Amino acid sequence: MNNRRMIIIFLSIITFILIFSVIVIAQHPSIPSQSPIGGGWTDDGIVVRLTNGTDKVGIGTNSPITKLDVVGNIRISDGTEGAGKVLTSDEFGVANRQELSESDGSNGIDGNGTTNFIPLWITDSSLGNSNMKMDSDGNFILKPGNSIIAISSDGSSCWRFSGTGVSKLVPPCPSF
């Protein structure tokens, strides 16, 4: 009888442990490969990535607007950083640093200008002199033989300013 009682207690303890283990395993499964690890992330053992294509990552913000939204400073370190370099990207979006150089027309705005002359776009990427300059007192000076046309904000009236005086033009006024 004493042995029978011990066997019943032993089997009850074993049953309790098995039931408890099943409950714990059901609530906390192991993380298999290619499974979500919670919070929208997936870990395949090599790469951790966002599970859903519409998920966003916010650093310093609880409401990211873009795929990666960083509020604060960001540092990108790859050993090529240095003074006078700018961060650019290639056609695949891979970032790299390049020396900041004076423009030669191949990578920015090019052109020649004369001190105090108002710049004028002479091509899509090149500046030259307009027919107007500003003197040291802040006065605009027009080259002889040229004029300025001023148009009212509603476009209903316009005036020509030239070396010979001011004249009101007959509408329609020139447009941009």
What is the chain written as a DSSP string?
-HHHHHHHHHHHHHHHHHHHHHHHHHHS----TTEEEETTEEE-SS-EEESSTT--EEES-SS--SSEEE-S-----SS---TTEEEEE-TT--EEEEE-----SSSS-EE---TTEEEEEEETTEEEEEEEEE-TTS-EEEPTT-EEEEE-TTSS-EEEEETTEEEEEPSSPP--
pLDDT the model gives residue 33: 45
26 in a domain, yes or no? Answer: yes
pLDDT the model gives residue 79: 84
80 in a domain, yes or no? Answer: no
pLDDT the model gives residue 115: 76
pLDDT the model gives residue 39: 66
63 in a domain, yes or no? Answer: no
Instruction: Show the domain range for 153.
Output: 144-176
| 24's tokens | 């714990």
Residue with tokens 């066997």: 7
100 in a domain, yes or no? Answer: no
Domain count, the chain: 2
44 in a domain, yes or no? Answer: no
Nearest in space to 155 (alpha carbons), one of 172, 131, 137, 133: 172
| 176's tokens | 């941009």
Residue with tokens 């290639």: 90
Query: Bridge partners of 142?
Result: 132
172 in a domain, yes or no? Answer: yes
149 in a domain, yes or no? Answer: yes
pLDDT the model gives residue 171: 74
User: Does 172 sit behind a cis peptide bond, omega within 30 degrees of 0 on the bond before it?
Assistant: yes
Q: What are phi and psi of 11, to 5 degrees?
A: -65, -35
Cβ-Cβ contacts under 8 Å for 141 (sequence gap 6 or more)? 132, 133, 134, 135
Nearest in space to 161 (alpha carbons), one of 128, 126, 131, 125: 131
48 in a domain, yes or no? Answer: no
pLDDT the model gives residue 101: 62
pLDDT the model gives residue 31: 46
Kindly give the confidence (pLDDT) of every residue in the chain, 176 residues in length, as a single tens digit, with 9 standing for 90 and above: 566 777 777 777 777 776 766 676 666 555 444 444 556 777 777 877 887 778 888 888 888 888 888 888 888 888 888 887 888 888 888 888 888 665 555 556 666 677 777 788 878 777 777 777 877 777 777 777 777 788 887 878 888 887 778 888 877 777 75
